[in-house]
């Protein structure tokens, strides 16, 4: 027979205002097995805990019931208290009389009655509790960073600086991400490449960082501390070890039809190319779809001209299998497809461009060598219209567009407007905006500079229509502050298109069992208190993959994610969950149902020698890998023979609770 102590907490007035705590403590004294019952103002306080410890010693308690807030709040606290007084932590039960009782009732009598019932159920369960011991599992001291934009690079650098090995898996041929495509950056207008490329080089040269470019995660198994990843490294048809990045092949290649993704497909490139001058790794790639050799078996000019002998048409995709302790998702974003917004004539005129296309046009290494010209005829524009919020802030049920604010476009549009006015004072710049959203250090000052010093014409209102009229673009929009409809004959229109998660995010989320929101941004474990962790243990979030943000915020979050990874990898072993599933071998008949429902792959089967009064011989029995089982209970409800049970939440324990409630 157990000797049980009951401790009823007032939680100040949180509980005591709706539940007669003294009456609860008094009522519980009559329960079988209860040898001590009391109440106190704050059980979680040092004094409250001391009271629990003292009672365990004085009365030789074998288990305790704390009637208090949700176990999510203080179960860990009271388990520690019990341990320090010599009890097994799993001999602690919490009756949640706050969230599930005092906070949702108004009437004192009702609240008290329910609190007593909840406490009785906890006592009934505790009678069937058994001490449990959690196992441990080792931690593989290597991190996997998925995505090599500024987020992934920064997280990798911080983790590597702490002495742990990091692999960056980047799906494109080079790291750098979107930041590599930007010209200047707000709010300081420094050159993006000038601040990014030193970090790319640092990552490449870091002895603890291994960059796996042109690669994607193929599959993943395991659990926190012990992931096994299979990475597919796509054939680039170039031997990375031999290629010196001299670029001779790219000049000799006669195929000129491929579109240059790095320049937002504004110009053509050869079938063999290096994405940009500072690419890392600085190694060429062959685009097999465009390559004449792959299409006709002829050509091979690159191979003939490569003095390093790096061209390898026979190269195959390679599968790499590695162990990791932690995984960081840093897969970033892409602008949404602007062709859905043809009211702005994006499909009708090359002079209507997206903001990211505009970054390439303004960039000295871009398709126009940094000359601001109209894409249609390469003439200098005189009138430019910027349109903000294209595809952002649409209603949830809108047939196109995103419901969220993309957060960065007000600022980068102010940047674009200023850069144009700075370099070309003869160009008139108009910005149509709904709101100018500029929260951030030095952000509003930046936007005001565009208006006050650079004379950018900000028009509050949206554009309703852009139509092509000869060489001009007729822009018709609202000027809400002046109460008029305005018409501008523009040479170029720039669309601040919404951003969305990388298209691979959804399938990656499934592979990692990491949850995401309806917009495919990865969700954090807690929106305020755990912003860089995924709810899936061992998976961390960095950069725009979690939600729209600019570079300063991305870098800050990347560092925070790194700190969490370091905290995990610094441990030698992790304590597993003690409440794991377990099959009763006398009842299990190895039907394989549980294996199919286990989302963590924790169940296997083994042939075991069984000796029961009814059966003697070898039978196939379910076996649970306790390090992998997360205690979700899916198998226990699936098992047709009732063999599977969850330790700490056995069927008998649950039924005892139900009986106590219905008594």
Partner 1 sequence: MSLTNKVTAEDILRISGVDASRCMQCGKCSGACPNYDEMDYHPHQFAAMVRKGKITELMESKALYQCLSCFACSQRCPRGVEPAKLIEAVRLSVIRQKGKNYMTADALPEKLDEKIPQQALVSAMRKYSK
Q: Footprint of ligand SF4 on this chain (CB under 6 A)?
A: 388-389, 392-393, 405-407, 409-410, 435, 437, 496, 580-581, 597-598, 600, 602-603, 624, 629-635, 646
Distances (CA, A) of 219 to 10, 170, 322, 501, 507: 50, 15, 11, 20, 10
Is 343 one of the binding residues for partner 1 (CB under 8 A)?
A: yes
Is 434 one of the binding residues for partner 1 (CB under 8 A)?
A: yes
CA distance 458 to 383: 14
Member of 170, 491, 500, 585 binding ligand FAD (CB under 6 A): 170
Identity of the residue, 502 or 585, whose beta carbon is nearer to ligand FAD in the bound complex: 502
CA distance 125 to 90: 11
Identity of the residue, 263 or 630, whose beta carbon is nearer to ligand SF4 in the bound complex: 630
Is 474 one of the binding residues for partner 1 (CB under 8 A)?
A: no
Which does residue 102 bind out of ligand SF4, ligand FAD, partner 1, none, counting CB within 5 to 8 angstroms by kind?
none
Backbone angles phi, psi at 99, to 5 degrees: -55, -40
Identity of the residue, 330 or 390, whose beta carbon is nearer to ligand FAD in the bound complex: 330
Burial of 578 (0-12, 13-18, 19+ CB in 10 A): middle
Identity of the residue, 177 or 538, whose beta carbon is nearer to ligand FAD in the bound complex: 177
Q: In angstroms, what is the minimal distance from the CB of 284 to ligand FAD?
A: 18
Is 49 one of the binding residues for ligand FAD (CB under 6 A)?
A: no
Sign of CA dihedral 199, 205, 211, 214: positive
Q: Which listed range, 49-57, 172-180, 205-213, 241-249, lies at the site for ligand FAD (CB under 6 A)? A: 172-180
Which does residue 363 bind out of ligand FAD, partner 1, ligand SF4, none, counting CB within 5 to 8 angstroms by kind?
none
What is the separation of C-alpha 518 from the centre of its chain, rounded to a whole number of angstroms?
13
Which residues, including other chains, have CB under 8 Å from residue 304's CB and lie 6 or more apart? none
**Residue 517 · residue 497 · CB < 8 Å:** no
Helices of type H across 189-269: 192-205, 248-252
Q: In angstroms, what is the minimal distance from the CB of 475 to partner 1?
A: 9
Size of the site for ligand FAD (CB under 6 A): 40
Identity of the residue, 189 or 480, whose beta carbon is nearer to ligand FAD in the bound complex: 189
Distances (CA, A) of 597 to 91, 578, 601, 629, 642: 30, 20, 9, 12, 15
Is 465 one of the binding residues for partner 1 (CB under 8 A)?
A: yes
**Which strand (E) or helix (H) includes residue 155?**
helix 150-161
- Residue appearing with tokens 């041929």: 173
Nearest to 471 by CA among 338, 350, 342: 350
Contact characters 534-563, ligand FAD, x per CB under 6 A: ---------xx----xxxx-x---------
Which does residue 129 bind out of ligand FAD, partner 1, ligand SF4, none, counting CB within 5 to 8 angstroms by kind?
none
Is 393 one of the binding residues for partner 1 (CB under 8 A)?
A: yes
Is 248 one of the binding residues for partner 1 (CB under 8 A)?
A: no
Identity of the residue, 5 or 148, whose beta carbon is nearer to ligand FAD in the bound complex: 148
Identity of the residue, 90 or 432, whose beta carbon is nearer to partner 1 in the bound complex: 432
CA distance 594 to 580: 14
Distances (CA, A) of 398 to 338, 392, 425: 15, 11, 39
Identity of the residue, 476 or 592, whose beta carbon is nearer to partner 1 in the bound complex: 476
Is 460 one of the binding residues for partner 1 (CB under 8 A)?
A: yes
Which does residue 179 bind out of partner 1, ligand FAD, ligand SF4, none, counting CB within 5 to 8 angstroms by kind?
ligand FAD
Q: In angstroms, what is the minimal distance from the CB of 392 to partner 1?
A: 9
526 forms beta bridges with: 530
Which residues, including other chains, have CB under 8 Å from residue 461's CB and lie 6 or more apart? 432, 433, 434, 477, 478, 479, 480, 481, 486
Applying CB under 6 A, the residues found at the interface with ligand FAD are 146-152, 169-172, 177-179, 182, 185-186, 216, 330-333, 335, 355-356, 359, 408, 412, 415, 499, 502, 504, 508, 543-544, 549-552, 554
């Amino acid at each position: 027979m157990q000797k049980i102590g009951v401790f009823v907490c007032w939680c100040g007035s949180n509980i005591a205002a709706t539940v007669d705590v003294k009456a609860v403590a008094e009522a519980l004294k009559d329960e079988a097995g209860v040898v001590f019952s009391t109440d106190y103002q704050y059980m979680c306080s040092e004094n409250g805990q001391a009271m629990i410890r003292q009672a365990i010693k004085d009365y030789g308690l074998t288990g305790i019931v704390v009637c208090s807030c949700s176990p999510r709040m203080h179960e860990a606290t009271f388990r520690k208290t019990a341990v320090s007084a010599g009890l097994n932590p799993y001999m602690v039960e919490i009756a949640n009389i706050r969230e599930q009782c005092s906070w949702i009732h108004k009437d004192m009598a009702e609240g008290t009655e329910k609190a007593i019932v909840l406490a009785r159920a906890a006592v009934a369960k505790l009678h069937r509790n058994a001490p449990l011991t959690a196992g441990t599992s080792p931690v593989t001291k290597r991190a996997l960073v998925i995505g090599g934009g500024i987020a992934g690079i920064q997280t990798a650098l911080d983790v590597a600086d702490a002495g742990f090995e990091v692999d960056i898996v980047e799906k494109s041929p080079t790291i750098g991400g979107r930041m590599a495509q930007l010209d200047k950056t707000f709010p300081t207008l420094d050159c993006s490449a000038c601040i990014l490329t030193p970090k790319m080089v640092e990552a490449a040269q870091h002895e603890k960082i291994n960059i796996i470019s042109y690669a994607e995660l193929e599959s993943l198994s395991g659990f926190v501390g012990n992931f096994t990843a299979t990475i597919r490294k796509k054939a680039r048809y170039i031997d990375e070890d031999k290629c010196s990045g001299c670029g001779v092949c790219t000049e000799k290649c006669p195929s000129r039809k491929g579109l240059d993704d790095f320049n937002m497909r504004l110009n053509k490139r050869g079938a063999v190319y290096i994405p940009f001058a500072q690419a890392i790794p600085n190694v060429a790639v062959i685009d097999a779809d465009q390559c004449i050799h792959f299409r006709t078996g002829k050509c091979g000019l690159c191979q003939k001209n490569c003095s390093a002998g790096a061209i390898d048409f026979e190269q195959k995709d390679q599968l790499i299998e590695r162990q990791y302790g932690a995984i960081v998702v840093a897969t970033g974003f892409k602008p949404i497809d602007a062709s859905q917004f043809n009211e702005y004539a994006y499909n009708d005129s090359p002079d209507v461009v997206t903001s990211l296309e505009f970054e390439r046009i303004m960039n000295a290494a871009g398709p126009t060598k940094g000359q601001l010209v109209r894409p249609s005829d390469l003439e200098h524009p005189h009138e430019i219209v910027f349109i903000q919020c294209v595809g952002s802030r649409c209603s949830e049920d809108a047939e196109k567009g995103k419901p969220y604010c993309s957060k960065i476009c007000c600022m980068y549009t102010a940047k674009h407007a200023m850069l144009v006015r700075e370099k070309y004072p003869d160009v008139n710049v108009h910005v149509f905006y709904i709101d100018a959203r500029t929260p951030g250090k030095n952000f509003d000052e930046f936007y005001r500079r565009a208006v006050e010093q650079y004379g950018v014409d900000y028009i509050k209102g949206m554009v309703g229509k852009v139509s092509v009229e000869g060489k001009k673009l007729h822009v018709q929009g609202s000027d809400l502050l002046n109460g008029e409809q305005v018409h501008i004959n523009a040479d170029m229109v720039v669309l601040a298109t919404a951003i969305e998660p990388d298209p691979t995010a959804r399938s990656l989320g499934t592979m990692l069992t990491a949850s995401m929101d309806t917009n495919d941004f990865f969700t954090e474990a807690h929106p305020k208190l755990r912003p860089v962790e995924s709810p899936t243990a061992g998976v961390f979030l960095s950069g725009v993959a979690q939600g729209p943000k600019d570079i300063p915020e991305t870098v800050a979050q990347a560092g925070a994610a790194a700190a969490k990874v370091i905290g995990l990898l610094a441990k030698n072993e992790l304590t597993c969950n003690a409440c794991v599933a377990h099959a009763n071998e006398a009842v299990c008949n190895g039907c394989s149902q549980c294996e199919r429902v286990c989302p963590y792959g924790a169940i296997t089967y083994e042939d075991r020698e069984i000796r029961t009064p009814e059966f003697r011989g070898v039978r196939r029995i379910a076996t649970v890998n306790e390090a992998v089982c997360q205690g979700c209970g899916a198998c226990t409800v699936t098992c047709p023979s009732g063999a599977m049970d969850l330790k700490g939440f056995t069927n008998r324990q649950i039924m005892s609770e139900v009986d106590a409630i219905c008594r």
